[in-house]
Amino acid sequence: MAHLNTELLIDYWRRRRGERAMPARSDIDPADFAALLPHAFIAARSDDGDIRFRLAGEAVIDLHARPLAGESLLALWTAPHRQPLTKALGASLDLAEALVVTAEAPSDDAPLFSLEVAFAPLTGPDGRADRFLGLYQPISKRTRHSARELRMLAINGSAAVRGGPHLRLAVLDGRRLA
């Protein structure tokens, strides 16, 4: 079950798409979800297949301890999780389905921080599905430390992972592993 704020953003996305497969970026009005803006982002797929931040809220910037506009969203994830995430995001765009990734963000000197990262596909000005309205939703208490690379624990809420391997939560010596 997704966090209430994750559900609110996805419900907003569904309302904005209406009868269409997905809404256009121009259909999204940040004033409609002002309380979520610090945790929200817009990212777009570039011609080389990378997903890059266009906009990021202050909580997202704070977690990664740097401005993110123009940076690769995929590079924020550990190397073994980049390919499954790339595949799931591509399928999310192709299938016009929202995607929720449960992740953890380790830091050098703080406990693990758990979060949900929602991705709701959007079309750009040319009508192609090439961007996402997203949300970083904390699901555990966060310290003020910045995170290293994100680790994926699960992909949920979309047929975007159909046909591919499913990540499962595993525990080894009391430590959660994907």
Model pLDDT for residues 13-63, shown as the tens digit of each residue: 999 999 999 999 999 999 999 999 999 999 999 999 999 999 999 999 999
Instruction: Please give the helix or strand (H or E) that residue 82 lies within, else none.
Output: helix 79-95
pTM as predicted: 0.86
CATH topology of domain 4-177: Beta-Lactamase (3.30.450)
More confident residue, 42 or 114: 42
- Predicted confidence band at 144 (pLDDT cuts at 50, 70, 90)? low
% of the chain residues with pLDDT over 70: 83
Average pLDDT over the chain reads 87
Look up residue 32 and give its DSSP letter: G
Is the model's pLDDT at 159 over the cut of 60?
no
Give the lowest-confidence range in 8-17, 20-29, 111-120, 140-149: 140-149
Number of Cβ atoms within 10 Å of the Cβ of 35:
9
Is the model's pLDDT at 113 over the cut of 60?
yes
* Joined tokens for residue 129: 């599905």
Q: What pLDDT does residue 147 have?
A: 78
CA neighbor of 121 nearest in space, from 90, 81, 82, 149: 90
